[in-house]
Amino acid sequence: MNQETGKLRMICIVCPLGCELEMETGREPKQIVNIKGSRCSKGKEYAAREAADPRRVLMAVVKVRDGNLPVVSVKTDEPIPKQMLLEAVRAISKIEMEAPVKAGDILIDNLLSTGARVVATNNVRKAD
């Protein structure tokens, strides 16, 4: 997102169209007055949500002991606040699992009180 005086610009990532959005901001923080450039209602919703409360799904890896692989890929099951990504990566990097790990296993139930769960996205078998 590129911020100019009173305007925010971004590319919408909701669908493959990749509309170039321009938002006019008001005097209040995060207040959107007008959104231009969206070719569908989803783009307007995305822009407003992104300006007010940007969130991202986090993908990372977790160490695995005694597995056929040294790590398992993980992701949050819902987007978390963008400003918490670094803190979330640090929290995830501190955990270590014992093999086996199955895709869908919940490794952290409530990541940093966001309500998001950290879920394994791959299988790691016990080492032979």
Q: Report the pLDDT value the prediction gives residue 46, as an integer from 0 to 100.
A: 87
Q: For residues 75 and 27, state if they share a domain.
A: no
Instruction: Tell me if 17 is assigned to some domain.
Output: yes
pLDDT band at residue 29 under the 50/70/90 scheme: low
| Phi and psi torsions of 105, nearest 5° | -60, 135
| CB-CB contact of 87 with 122 (8 Å) | no
* Average pLDDT over all residues of the chain: 91
Q: For residues 115 and 64, state if they share a domain.
A: yes
Give per-residue pLDDT as tens, 53-83: 899 999 999 999 999 999 999 999 999 999 9
Q: For residues 74 and 108, state if they share a domain.
A: yes
Q: For residues 68 and 99, state if they share a domain.
A: yes
pLDDT greater at residue 90 or residue 54: 90
Q: For residues 69 and 22, state if they share a domain.
A: no
* Domains: count for the chain: 2
* Concatenated DSSP letters of 23-65: EEE-SSTT-EEEEES-SSHHHHHHHHHHHHS-EE--EEEEEEE
Q: For residues 85 and 113, state if they share a domain.
A: yes
DSSP summary character for residue 85 = H
Q: For residues 23 and 9, state if they share a domain.
A: yes
Q: For residues 34 and 66, state if they share a domain.
A: no
State what percent of residues in the chain have pLDDT above 90: 64
Q: Report the pLDDT value the prediction gives residue 61, as an integer from 0 to 100.
A: 98
Query: pTM (2 decimals)?
Result: 0.79
Instruction: Tell me if 125 is assigned to some domain.
Output: no
Instruction: Tell me if 70 is assigned to some domain.
Output: yes
Q: Report the pLDDT value the prediction gives residue 117, as an integer from 0 to 100.
A: 98
Segments forming the whole domain that contains residue 18: 2-53
Instruction: Tell me if 128 is assigned to some domain.
Output: no
Q: Once rounded to an integer, what is the mean pLDDT over residues 94-98?
A: 97
